[in-house]
Amino acid sequence: MSIMTERQIDRIRQAEASMREAREVAGEIRSALDAANVKQPRAREELLKAAERLERQIEEIQNALREWRKDIN
C-alpha cells in the first residue's frame, strides 16, 4: 500500500469516526426532546426535522466514504 493510499485510509477513518459522533448527537437531540417533554409542538417538530436532516446528511457522507474506500482499494 502506498503512502498516499495510507493517508487516504487514515482520512476516511477519521471521517467515519466523526460521522459516528454526529449520529450520536442526532440521537441525543431526540433523547433530549423526550426528556425535556417539549410542550410546543412546532418547536418539537422543527427539532425533530433537524435531527432527521442531520441523519440523512450523515448517511450521504457515509455512503461517499464507502465509495472512496472502494476507489482506493
The grid cell for 69 is 474506500
Quote the pTM value.
0.79
Q: Taking the domains of the chain in order of start, what are their residue ranges?
A: 3-72
% of the chain beyond a pLDDT of 90:
51
The pLDDT of 35-60, averaged and rounded, is 87
Per-residue pLDDT for 39 more than 90?
A: no
CA dihedral 61, 54, 52, 43 (to 10 degrees): -170
The pLDDT of 39-63, averaged and rounded, is 90
Q: Which pLDDT score, from 0 to 100, does residue 65 have?
A: 95
Question: Angle 67-22-27 (CA atoms, 0-180°, nearest 5)?
Answer: 120
Cα distance between residue 33 and residue 49, in whole Å: 12
